[in-house]
Amino acid sequence: MNTIAGAQRERGKRHPAVARSLATADLVRITAQHVSSEGRCEECGALVTAAKPLCPRAAAALRELARRDGTADTSSRTIRFSVATLLRSASAHRPTPEGRCFRCGFVYTAKCQDCPQLRIIRRELEARGMIPLTAPEPGVGTCAGKSASWELTGQNLASWQRAIDSCHECPILTQCRTTLRNRIAGGEPPQDQIVAGAAFDYYGNHVPADRLRTYAVLRSRTPRGPANHVAAGGDAA
Ligand code: SF4
Ligand SMILES: [Zn+2]
Ligand SMILES: [Zn+2]
């Protein structure tokens, strides 16, 4: 057996497993560092071709990002880059005439015109209020794939207000309100979340819109303390 080739094959097998064990921010960092240029990865030196434009590490990281796409793990709490870095990175993820992402090599399809990394970056910029929220598709909630922007933790008053306003424009608001009523009736209200245009504190108490500002101030002073009860008690939906 050719031991060098065998070792290379073993190394190749390990990349997906390693990618699965990494935090999303680390995966994004790998795809940012392992850039292919003139037939090689600038970071690790692996050979790349037009058919395989990414080195094995970058390819494994990208596959893992695609698998996690839309999950809580890709929320704003896991991505801590400056807005300038995110915008610079977003501009590099653009289509080539060959139908691939210029930056990461993702092959677009008729249904998928954004690479996974660009979707993560866009959600992060949306959550920070740097770009407008993506227009919802018919029959799909505006919050789909952006759940972090509808959570109270990790966001500020402006972000909460943006999420509430988006709920009011959501194509499935009526359905969402019905589901919310059922959840409340069943004793399982949302916690630390905005649902159907209504905010709920850590304990599932509705925070009325006119007390949201006060609640944000109290909460910032006393995270997870009794102050969180101050704004509770309104009727949702
Ligand atoms: S109305 Fe419901 S589904 Fe629509 S954005 Fe708000 S929480 Fe999401
Ligand atoms: Zn590389
Ligand atoms: Zn890309």
pLDDT digits (tens, 9 = 90+) for 196-226: 999 999 899 999 999 999 999 888 776 554 4
Cβ(190) – ligand 1 distance below 6 Å: no
Instruction: Answer with the residue of higher pLDDT: 137 or 101.
Output: 101
Query: Of 36-40, 61-65, 163-167, 184-188, which has the strongest mean pLDDT?
Result: 184-188
Q: Dihedral of CA 218/224/225/228: which sign? A: positive
Residue 82 pLDDT class (50, 70, 90 cuts):
confident
pLDDT greater than 70 at residue 84: yes
Residue nearest (by alpha carbon) to ligand 1 atom 8? 143
pLDDT at 73: 53
Q: Whose CA is nearest to atom 6 of ligand 1?
A: 167
Residues around ion ligand 2, judged by CB within 5 A, are 34, 41, 43-44, 55, 57
Q: What is the pLDDT of residue 2?
A: 42
pLDDT of 132: 66
pLDDT score, position 136:
59
pLDDT digits (tens, 9 = 90+) for 116-127: 878 878 877 777
Atom from ligand 1 closest to the CA of residue 197 = 6
Q: Which ligand is nearest to the CA of 42?
A: 2
| Residue 87 reports pLDDT greater than 70 | yes
Look up residue 178 and give its two tokens.
């019905």
Task: State the pLDDT at residue 204.
Answer: 93
Averaged pLDDT for residues 49-59? 82
Residue 100's beta-bridge partner residues? 107
Which atom of ligand 1 sits closest to the CA of residue 144? 8
- pLDDT given at position 69: 65
Whole-angstrom distance, CA of residue 172 vs CA of residue 158: 23
Residue 77: pLDDT band (50, 70, 90) is very low
Cα–Cα distances (Å) from 32 to 29, 74, 103, in that order, read: 5, 16, 9
Cα torsion 15, 19, 25, 31: sign: positive
Query: Ligand 1 pocket, 164 CB below 6 A?
Result: no
Query: What is the distance in angstroms between the CA of the first residue and the CA of the last residue of the chain?
Result: 68
**Domain residue ranges of the chain, discontinuous segments joined by +:** 138-231
Q: Does residue 180 surpass a pLDDT of 90? A: yes
